Amino acid sequence: MRRLSTLAVLTAASCAFAAPASAALKPGATAPAFSAPAYLAGKPFTFNLADALKKGPVVVYFFPAAHTSGCNLEAHLFSQAIDKFKAQHASVIGVTAGNTDQLADFSKETEHCSGRFPVAADPGAKIAGQYDAVLAQKPEWSNRTSYAIKPDGTIAAAYSDLNPNKHVQEMLDAVKALDTGAAKH
């Protein structure tokens, strides 16, 4: 009996990692305002969501921890696509509660962010908690959840999946769907 319950727990845990989760903040909801210590190309600054939204849509993507395999890949994919986001007048910010002491390096390393977009520290996953982006298996870390936020501060789209491969395309499609004043081709 004990073996069966252990198997059931392991199966449920593997399903939680494999299946996309649904983000609690749905399109139309107000995005929680936040400010956080951040780095761009290794330089510290304070990121403020309200200030960023004055310039256009913002993609806020939460990731578990700097210098981990999936997060390295996701940062690299966002870095490669940053000009496509800029063409839509959108900015990108990565937010993490894990390995925050490594963010300065992570923000500038060419295999990760390449200095092309900022990453912010979220000690204790407080911001992630407001966005329902806390990793259930490790609550002191952020889950892999991305949000496209309209300039009016409402959620345009949300995507949550521990697999990093689709976050960039999901968020790029979301900002392209917004009327941002970008030239349409």
**pLDDT at residue number 24:** 73
Q: Is the pLDDT of residue 14 over 80?
A: no
- Give the DSSP letter of residue 66: T
* Residue at 180: amino acid letter: T
User: What CATH code is assigned to 22-177?
Assistant: 3.40.30.10
Q: What is the pTM of this model?
A: 0.84
- Quick: pLDDT tens for 89-114: 999 999 999 999 999 999 999 888 99
Domain regions of the chain by residue span: 22-177
Better-predicted residue by pLDDT, 139 or 84: 84
pLDDT confidence band for 69 (50 / 70 / 90): confident
> Quick one: average pLDDT of 112-124?
94
**Alpha-carbon gap, residue 142 to 165, rounded angstroms:** 17
Q: Is 77 helix (H, G, I), strand (E, B) or coil?
A: helix
Region for 172 from its dihedrals, namely left if φ exceeds 0, alpha if ψ lies in -120 to 50, beta otherwise: alpha
- Quick: pLDDT tens for 43-66: 999 999 999 999 999 999 999 999
Q: Is the pLDDT of residue 139 over 80?
A: yes
pLDDT confidence band for 23 (50 / 70 / 90): low
**pLDDT at residue number 15:** 34
